[in-house]
Chains A and B, each alone.
Chain A
Amino acid sequence: MSGLVPILADGLGVKPQRIAVIVTLLFLVLVIELVRRRRLVERYALLWITAALVLVVLAVWNGALNWIADSLGILSPPNALFLIGVGALFVLALHFSVAFSRLSEETKILAQEVARLDREQRRIRAGGLGGEADVVIEAAEARAVNGDGD
């Protein structure tokens, strides 16, 4: 299919290429500055740097971009660049959602653990906080549970 349609353009023009390079350089400086100020950890900086470099390489290397556009059956090579850019953003965003989900799970566990320790500590300090005979009962329970373990 891709062979049947003529390629309309040859890579990007010179002007957009220059803009792409300049913007990418600014972006890289920003990323590195964020790492320097410890507002971005290296792991994520690497992701962004890689993505930016891939895009800028494709922007200036017409041969590669034309080849990709051709093999995907995309008439205009700049559209292939957009497609790749958007695809990369989707993957990155999904990656962040996964990381975010993990973090909220970890946060939940921490909060539950804090609640448990908080009760434990207050109970020890107050010697039977609220729950009347709880101290005796639950100390014995804990022994029973621990003793029963395999």
Chain B
Amino acid sequence: MRALPLDAEWSGPSPHATIPMPSDDRQDLRLLAIVPAYNEEGMISRVVRDIKRQVPGFNVLVVDDGSTDKTVVQAEAEGAMVLRHPFNLGIGGAMQSGYKYALAHGYDVAVQVDGDGQHKPEYLPEMLDALQTGGKEADMVYGTRFRGDPGYKVPLGRRLGNLIFSVVLSAITRQKITDPTSGFRMVNRRGIELFARDYPHDYPEVEAILMLHNNRLRIHEVQVRMNARGFGRSSIDYPRAAYYMVKVMLALFVGLLRRRPDAFEGAPPPAADTQPAVEPSVEGGGPA
């Protein structure tokens, strides 16, 4: 895969000059909000509208994952760009489609904003800030519910599962990952390239964090509040939750056995070694 320079010059007219951002160096950034949606009719309009109104600098790409309702029509009516999957691939396949699109169209930043209205676009400027500078440059910034008030009543089972993954991932990455199941995440060009090339399947969030770590991309969290899920789709039932736990644990375990490159391929030299003292011995040195 071709490595795209992180700070490629954007020569055309900037459509993003109006974004209310504190510093000047990001005016020319191309920003994409990827909205994965599966049968989100009734919710999708609001989600798209909110993004466009609150953070006009972001282009909105709705990835319709084989919906059988009016999701596509409604998204287009709000002026979103829409990718239509011929059938349902699951959230992993949908997000990867979005990242592939972002890569192909030269976006610098891509953020996942769920089509069910759980993620609030008002946090995007803050996340972008953390991604760019914020004192601690990161390749992926995600919104965590568990550094303060989550904004809604998170079901106990979900909290518990989240805690387990949190402990495991924090141990692996040697940094605090308080909300590994949060899908509200923003990546820079390096993250886009990584996820366009390879993105986990069924329940991608947790595994994706390990992928970032394995490729030595830096992760930063920002405290957010979320909405309870908008409509129907009562998240996950118990047998499926158990399957989820086991499947993701297996994915993590296998992920640890994968080879970890010294630096992200195509990474600019200064960014390659900004993460000091990450002991690779955690990976157990298993046979690749």
Contact = CB atoms under 8 A, between A and B. Distances in A.
9 contacts: A111-B87, A112-B85, A115-B85, A131-B81, A133-B15, A142-B106, A145-B104, A149-B2, A150-B2
B50 interface: no
A111 to B, nearest CB: 5
A144 B13 CA distance: 12
Interface in B76-104: 76-77, 79-87, 89, 93, 96-97, 100-101, 104
B38 to A, nearest CB: 13
Interface of B: 2-5, 8-13, 15, 30, 59, 63, 75-77, 79-87, 89, 93, 96-97, 100-101, 104-107
B23 to A, nearest CB: 22
A119 B30 contact: no
Nearest to B81: A131
Nearest to B105: A141
Interface of A: 108, 111-112, 114-116, 118-119, 129-134, 137-138, 140-145, 148-150
Contacts of B100: 112, 116
Given A131-B59, A148-B106, 14 more contacts: A108-B93, A111-B87, A112-B89, A112-B96, A112-B97, A116-B97, A119-B84, A130-B82, A131-B80, A132-B79, A134-B59, A145-B104, A148-B4, A148-B9
A118 B15 contact: no
B183 to A, nearest CB: 19
A41 to B, nearest CB: 24
A144 B11 contact: yes
B10 A108 contact: no
A142 B104 contact: yes
A144 B10 contact: yes
Contact of A115 (B3, B9, B10, B83): B83
A131 B79 contact: yes
Contacts of B11: 140, 144
Contact of B84 (A108, A118, A138): A118
Contacts of A108: 89, 93, 96
Contacts of A134: 59, 81
Given A112-B97, A130-B76, A145-B4, A119 B87 contact: no
